[in-house]
Amino acid sequence: MTEHAATRLGPLSHLTVLDLTQHLSGPFATQILGDLGARVIKVEPPSGDPTRRIGPYFEDGDSDYYHSVNRNKESVVIDLKAPGGRDTLLALAANADVLVENFRPDTLKRLGIERELLLEANPRMVLCSITGFGQDGPYRLLPAFDIIVQGISGGMSLTGEPEGKPVRSGLPIGDVTAGMYGVIGILAGLSEVARTGVGTVVDVAMLDTQVSLLSYVAAYYLASGAVPGRQGRDHMSIPTYRAFECKDGREVVVAANTEAFWPGLARALGCPALVHDDRFLDNDLRRTHRTELASIMESAAAQMEAAEFIERLRVEGVPGAPINSVSEALVDPQVTARNMVIDLVGRGDSIRTVGNPVKMPGLRSKAVAPPHLGADTEAVLSELAQLSSREIAELAAVGVIPTQESGTESLPYA
């Protein structure tokens, strides 16, 4: 049993996941499963997941991008294009609970690994496919990455200043949202298998997940026909849900999104008379007169340092916070108290990344760094696929897996 498997703890520690994913959406999903205790076996091509080589930052031969979404996993190298590669994967699948892949819809079929074949090898398996556009529809075979689905979904049209150009979200929401929905689908699939004893297929499209995030914005358009524009620092429904620039140039966000918060915000701004102003008596009126209100509130906030404004908001019980830089966010006392910056063990002591946001009893206290490419190949094939030493040597001889002599390596781009 590999070191990763031996240290599994958590509510999903009874599960084995084959992870054929690369880049971000799929690895993000399987990392969540690994954080919750599942045994995640990352099956990589001989060249490795391309993100092992994405600069500019590297630790111990692999990129920090790769480290950020591949902890708590084992690495197995199988050349699925080589004769015998498909059968080796099927031998692993026969003893796994979940298989996750994020190839284009026709890729597995071209490799001779149809979904029907996987379910024949393991009738209780959950197969999760995370793709840009899903398994059907006119775009199904088109390539897609985060910025593509942010653009097509309408999300980018909402982001940026009202008079400016559309802006991509600074967070890779197309990828990570698809990963999270993938986990939701997998857990639902496992529940279905437990109920019926029959495996199932989960189809998650990055574009679908981005359209789902339109939420009330889409509902407003469908109800009114009015096309929403870029939201900037404001909220289309609630004028007191927005950002302010303070005297010291720092930005503060305020979420006064109920009538109960409005008087406190007015007092925190030093403008208690606003509460009795006929233009601002309720949210509908404040929305009608949002331009006048914005001018008054912005002028008041600009007279205070950000720390003073935040303290006034907290005294009044109004939600408010600074707009932190990444460096400020990662040392925020609440972030550090919740162990959201962690050290990965197993590959030196310098690999740091963000932690697991799910807190519950029984999870392992230390996260394991991603292994070197192919580090667990022979151990996993021996244990999970139940291959003998001779069979493993034969696979190495024909190039399905790397030989000990040739090894595998993942180096930064020159």
Residue 413: pLDDT over 50: no
Strands (E), 71-199: 73-77, 98-101, 126-131
CATH fold for the domain made of 241-245+251-322: formyl-coa transferase, domain 3 (3.30.1540)
Q: Distance between CA 343 and CA 365 in Å, rounded?
A: 11
Q: Distance between CA 331 and CA 342 in Å, rounded?
A: 12
pLDDT, tens digit, 9 for 90 and up, residues 189-235: 999 999 999 999 999 999 999 999 999 999 999 999 999 999 999 99
pLDDT, tens digit, 9 for 90 and up, residues 68-91: 999 999 999 999 999 999 999 999
Q: Distance between CA 123 and CA 142 in Å, rounded?
A: 30
Average pLDDT, the chain: 94
| pLDDT at residue number 66 | 97
| Cβ neighbour number for residue 365 with a 10 Å cutoff | 8
Residue 404: pLDDT over 70: no
* The two structure tokens encoding residue 64: 């920090």
Strands (E), 176-308: 200-205, 241-245, 251-255
Q: What percent of the chain has pLDDT over 70?
A: 95
Q: Distance between CA 400 and CA 11 in Å, rounded?
A: 34
Q: Distance between CA 103 and CA 132 in Å, rounded?
A: 9
Residue 188: pLDDT over 80: yes
Q: What percent of the chain has pLDDT over 90?
A: 93
> Is 175 a catalytic site residue?
yes
CATH fold for the domain made of 3-212+336-397: Rossmann fold (3.40.50)
Q: Distance between CA 50 and CA 55 in Å, rounded?
A: 11
Domains 3-212+336-397 and 241-245+251-322 share a fold: no
In the chain, where are the structural domains located?
3-212+336-397, 241-245+251-322
Residue 414: pLDDT over 90: no
pLDDT, tens digit, 9 for 90 and up, residues 130-179: 999 999 999 999 999 999 999 999 999 999 999 999 999 999 999 999 99
Radius of gyration of the chain (CA): 25
Task: Report cis status (omega within 30 of 0) of the bond before 371.
Answer: no
Q: What angle do CA 193, 9, 335 make, to 5 degrees?
A: 110
| pLDDT at residue number 365 | 87
Question: pTM here?
Answer: 0.93
Catalytic residue (one of 49, 79, 146, 175): 175
| pLDDT at residue number 8 | 74
At 413, which amino acid appears?
Y
Average pLDDT estimate for 50-63: 95
H or E stretch including 175? Answer: helix 173-196
Residue 63: pLDDT over 70: yes
| pLDDT at residue number 2 | 64
